Amino acid sequence: MKQKAVLIAPLIALLLLSGCLPTSILDDVLLVEAEGIDYLGNEKVMGTITMPNYVENPNPGSAGAGLPTTASMLRHLSGVTYDGKSLVDRFQQSGQMPIHVGKIRLMLFNTAMAKKGLYKQIDLRNRDPDSPRDMNFAVVEGSCRKLLTSADYQTQIPVARYIQDMIEQNTEQNYPESTMESFMYAYYGDYMDPFLPIIRKQGDHIAMHGLALFKNDKYVMRLSENRVFTFKMLFQKFNQGVYDYEFAPNKHIALKNVHTDVNYKVKNGNSAAPDIYASVNVSAQVRQSYPKTLSKTTGPGMEKKLNKHMAKEAVQLVRRFQRKQIDPLQLGQHVRSYTRNFDGKSWPERYPNARFHCKVDVTIRQTGISE
């Protein structure tokens, strides 16, 4: 009898406990997939959220995989609120079903918002235990609301997934990694500034459009697409991507990156003008070339030209960052890791004077199957 009581007591308690907690069954909630924030001025923003809309399976024979046939669900909501407001709470009143954050993939800001400063939005995301750290942030040229709510895209999949797929495949190539994880790393870290990709709607599709470089939380500088390769080459190791080199007017050669790695060395890290040495190794294959300019014999000459050109570009790039006093390449972090008793307080004043030296070593592995 006693043993029975012991067994039954926890069961009753379990029943009671499950009764206390609100459930969130996937079919009965609206999972926010993307949030977009457009700045209107005067601390007001236009917020937009999108939810996935599971369209009924067109082939009835293969249905029954348990997919909810809820083509009638809400797809997006937008409205005006103040900067830093959790959009999920803002739109709960217009939710057909409870709105949850669960699996958010994307957070978009328009350029006005990014220029104004994102610190309230970042704090909101960083505080939220639900948002996954592999979600993507991006800056939108134009209106986030239009980008998220347009119905004229060629693809049928929800726009949030479309954008995330696009950003993800690009970060495997020319663009540096820009998930929430890397953004928070640079935003909260000392001696570095974050960056985000810029996207924009072009007719019936969306395209990457360079990088937005931040100073703390404010968007201050745009890096155009053709500089993104150089940026990534200085930022991290990677093994895909295409570099386009115009060696003479209207004569191009395109390198497909096979492998790139970068090493930093720092001298006099605590002096007024530290020396930062970057040495980059690029091994690449030629994808395209101006006819009759490149073969196995002329390869080395082209390599030398490329070495010079890419190093010059890199130095110019860093000089631009120094002038704006931003450090998206995390050079300060490299200086810190090479300097004992690093003087962090005076670093912001010393950074613009730092001397950046870059040495690029390009190896052309192969030039294709024709001579």
Partner 1 sequence: MNDKIKPAHQVGPVSAFFIPQTMQIGIGYLSFQHVITKYSQQDAWLAALISGAIILGILWVVLRLLENERQFGMPDLFSIHSRIFGRRIGTFLNLFTVTHILLFTIMFLRSYVEIVHVWVFPQMSTFLFSLIFCSIVWYIVSGGIRTITGVCLLSFIYLMPLSILTLFIVPHAQFANLQPFFDHSPVTLLKSCYKLTHEYLGFELLLYVYPFISHPREARKWAFRSVLTTIYFYTTALILAIVYFSQGEMQNTIWPTVTYWKSVRFPLVEHIDIIAIVLLLWSLVPNICLCSWIIARAVKFTVPKIKMKYSLIVILALIISGTTMIHSGLQVKKINDVYATYGALIIYIYLPILLFCQWIKKKCGRGAAS
Note whether 5 binds partner 1 by CB under 8 A: no
Site for partner 1 in 325-354 (CB under 8 A): 333-334, 337-342
Closest to partner 1 by CB, 178 or 367: 178
Pick from 56, 172, 190, 204: which binds partner 1 (CB under 8 A)? Answer: 190
Minimum distance between the CB of residue 241 and partner 1, rounded to whole angstroms?
18
Parallel, antiparallel or unpaired: strands 99-100 and 30-31: parallel
| Segment near partner 1 (CB under 8 A); pick from 13-21, 82-90, 151-159, 220-228 | 13-21
Note whether 22 binds partner 1 by CB under 8 A: yes
**Cα–Cα distance measured from residue 315 to residue 45, given in angstroms and rounded to the nearest whole number:** 38
Contacts of 178 (CB under 8 A, 6+ apart): 136, 137, 138, 167, 171, 195, 196, 197
| Segment near partner 1 (CB under 8 A); pick from 14-22, 144-152, 295-303, 358-366 | 14-22
CA Rg value for the chain: 26
Closest to partner 1 by CB, 91 or 187: 187
Closest to partner 1 by CB, 265 or 319: 265
Count of residues that interact with partner 1, criterion CB under 8 A: 38
**Cα–Cα distance measured from residue 157 to residue 12, given in angstroms and rounded to the nearest whole number:** 45
**Cα–Cα distance measured from residue 337 to residue 264, given in angstroms and rounded to the nearest whole number:** 10
Q: What binding mask, one character per residue, do residues 111-140 give for partner 1 by CB under 8 A, x or -?
A: ---------------x--x-xxxx------
Closest to partner 1 by CB, 156 or 341: 341
Note whether 25 binds partner 1 by CB under 8 A: no
Minimum distance between the CB of residue 371 and partner 1, rounded to whole angstroms?
40
Minimum distance between the CB of residue 246 and partner 1, rounded to whole angstroms?
34
**Cα–Cα distance measured from residue 31 to residue 52, given in angstroms and rounded to the nearest whole number:** 7
Alpha-carbon dihedral sign for residues 265, 237, 300, 294: negative
Q: How many CB atoms lie within 10 A of CB 305?
A: 14
Token digits for 167? 């950003």
Site for partner 1 in 228-287 (CB under 8 A): 264
Judge whether 160 and 147 are in contact, CB under 8 Å. Answer: no
Q: Minimal CA–CA distance to 214: which of 240, 242, 186, 255?
A: 186
* SS3 category, 310: helix
* Count of H-run helices and E-run strands, the chain: 11, 14
Judge whether 148 and 108 are in contact, CB under 8 Å. Answer: yes
Note whether 103 binds partner 1 by CB under 8 A: yes
Minimum distance between the CB of residue 207 and partner 1, rounded to whole angstroms?
25
Pick from 189, 300, 301, 348: which binds partner 1 (CB under 8 A)? Answer: 189
Note whether 6 binds partner 1 by CB under 8 A: yes
Judge whether 167 and 182 are in contact, CB under 8 Å. Answer: no
Pick from 29, 73, 184, 221: which binds partner 1 (CB under 8 A)? Answer: 184
Judge whether 206 and 147 are in contact, CB under 8 Å. Answer: yes
Pick from 85, 117, 161, 185: which binds partner 1 (CB under 8 A)? Answer: 185
Name the β-bridge partners of 76.
Answer: 50
- Binding interface with partner 1 (CB under 8 A): 6, 9-10, 13-14, 16-17, 20-22, 102-103, 126, 129, 131-134, 179, 181-182, 184-190, 192, 264, 333-334, 337-342
